[in-house]
């Protein structure tokens, strides 16, 4: 593993390695003699979209692994004024040891990875959010003991980055995945085909939720889609995670949300509040999963 650009490019074995190491980092956090695989290294973060969890957990994680982090917004660097992604990659590769990028186009991080000589981590693009799904898988395995055979249902914008990464994450870990979404916001047929898993796409919320082990949702208006907000809020309203949907699921089913949450929209306040523990464990797990990702990338350089 030289980069983390997508879940699609990860093997099942690599996912297992990341989850195993993430559990070790979680267990050992704050204890003496923690491994510091980024000691003496500087990692940069480029954020071209807003972030709370990803940015803070990466900065904290880099520090805990012994490294130094620097956060750049695209407006601070010449890339914001037209310098190419490739030249930015060539330049930064002379100074730093790894980079974390949140942006719009997947092709930009791929181009960065090709032109540069340092590990690149996708911190969210319009296509995928791999760090999120690795933390989610860690959360499910912690709480349900295993991934294989568990039924996860994604409600709402099934054509978004988080759902795309989930298609691959579920397929590669042997989970059964359902997407409950209106036609316009279902995952593209090409994505489902590429994921090649036990994947079902439906407009029927109750059919999808039946006997589910995990109910998952994300915002209805992803970053960059603000102009479509009115239409999205209307069309996605029937795909809310609420008490009626939850009733169809297995007793004790996990309710997960990648956050930020818009309570009252994709999830009701009662369901969100009753599942705070899972949802914020999930947020915490971003830190542990990303430390594992960086440690493995640093090792394979
Ligand atoms: N879930 C997630 O990536 O959160 P942020 O946008 O706050 O980083
Ligand atoms: N789908 C959301 C995820 C936010 C973490 C977005 O892209 O805005």
- Give me the pLDDT at residue 299, please: 81
Q: Is 129 a catalytic residue?
A: yes
**Which alpha helices (DSSP H) does 237-275 contain, by range?**
243-248, 269-274
Model pTM score? 0.98
What does the buried/exposed string (b/e) look like for 251-288 if buried means 16 or more CB atoms within 10 Å of the residue's CB?
eebbbbbbeebeeebbbbeebbeebeebbebbbbbbbb
d(C-alpha 125, C-alpha 109), whole Å: 8
Q: Which of 221, 245, 222 is nearest to 235 (CA)?
A: 221
Ligand 2 atom at minimum distance from 162 CA = 1
Any ligand 1 atom below 6 A from CB of 54 = yes
User: In the structure encoding, which two tokens stand for residue 30, read together?
Assistant: 């704050």
pLDDT tens for each residue of 235-270: 999 999 999 999 999 999 999 999 999 999 999 999
Please give the Cα distance from 98 to 40 (Å, whole number). 12
Domains of the chain, start order: 12-128+286-299 (3.40.50.1370), 132-282 (3.40.50.1370)
Reference 140, options 175, 167, 165, 178; nearest CA is 175
Residues 6+ apart with CB under 8 A from 232: 157, 185, 220, 221, 225
Nearest-atom number in ligand 2 for the CA of 126 is 7
Pocket residues: Cβ below 6 A from ligand 2: 124, 160-162, 218-219, 222-223, 258
Q: Is the previous residue joined to 260 through a cis bond, with omega within 30 degrees of 0?
A: yes
Q: What is the pLDDT of residues 193-216, one digit of tens each?
A: 999 999 999 999 999 999 999 999
53 is an active site residue: no
Is 102 one of the catalytic residues? yes
* Residue-averaged pLDDT of the chain: 97
pLDDT recorded at residue 76: 87
pLDDT at residue 300 is higher than 80: no
- Distance between first and last Cα of the chain: 9
Active-site pick, 3, 232, 286, 288: 286
162 Cα to the center of ligand 2, angstroms: 7
**Picking from 8-17, 69-78, 145-154, 264-273, which range would have the lowest pLDDT averaged per residue?**
69-78
d(CA 199, CA 9): 18
Cβ of 51 less than 6 Å from ligand 1: yes
User: Which pLDDT belongs to residue 186?
Assistant: 98
CA of 229 to the centre of ligand 2 (A): 14
Within 10 angstroms of residue 27's Cβ, the number of other Cβ atoms is: 9
For residue 301, what pLDDT band results from cuts at 50, 70 and 90? low
Q: Closest ligand 2 atom to the C-alpha of 218?
A: 1
Q: Is 132 annotated in the active site? A: yes
The pLDDT of residue 122 is 99
The token duo for 132 is: 């999120």
Q: Which residue has the tokens 């870990």?
A: 173
Question: DSSP assignment, residue 238?
Answer: G
**pLDDT tens profile 91-118:** 999 999 999 999 999 999 999 999 999 9
Give the model's pLDDT for residue 32: 85
């Amino acid at each position: 593993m030289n980069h983390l650009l997508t879940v699609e490019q990860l093997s099942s074995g690599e996912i297992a390695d990341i989850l195993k190491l993430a559990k070790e980092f979680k267990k050992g956090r704050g204890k003496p003699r923690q491994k510091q695989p980024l000691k003496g290294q500087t990692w940069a973060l480029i954020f071209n979209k807003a972030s709370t969890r990803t940015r803070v957990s990466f900065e904290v994680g880099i520090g805990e692994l012994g490294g130094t982090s620097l956060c750049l917004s695209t407006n601070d660097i010449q890339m914001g004024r037209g310098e190419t992604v490739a030249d930015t990659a060539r330049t930064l590769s002379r100074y730093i040891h790894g980079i974390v990028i949140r942006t719009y186009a997947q092709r930009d991080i791929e181009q960065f990875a090709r032109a540069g000589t340092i590990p690149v981590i996708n911190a969210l693009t319009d296509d995928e959010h791999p760090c999120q799904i690795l933390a989610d898988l860690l959360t499910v395995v912690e709480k349900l003991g295993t991934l294989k055979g568990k039924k996860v249902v994604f409600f709402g914008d099934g054509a978004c980055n988080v759902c795309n990464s989930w298609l691959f994450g579920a397929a590669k870990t042997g989970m059964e995945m359902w997407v409950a979404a209106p036609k316009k916001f279902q995952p593209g047929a090409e994505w489902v085909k590429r994921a090649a898993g036990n994947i079902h796409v439906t407009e029927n919320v109750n059919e999808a939720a039946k006997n589910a082990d995990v109910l998952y949702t994300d915002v209805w208006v992803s970053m960059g889609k603000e102009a479509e907000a009115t239409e999205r809020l209307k069309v996605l309203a029937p795909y809310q995670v609420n008490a009626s949907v939850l009733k169809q699921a297995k007793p004790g089913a996990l309710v997960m949300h990648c956050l930020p949450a818009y309570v009252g929209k994709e999830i009701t306040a009662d369901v969100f509040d009753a599942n705070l523990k899972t949802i914020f464990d999930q947020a915490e797990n971003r830190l542990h999963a990303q430390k594992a990702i960086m440690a493995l990338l640093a090792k394979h350089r």
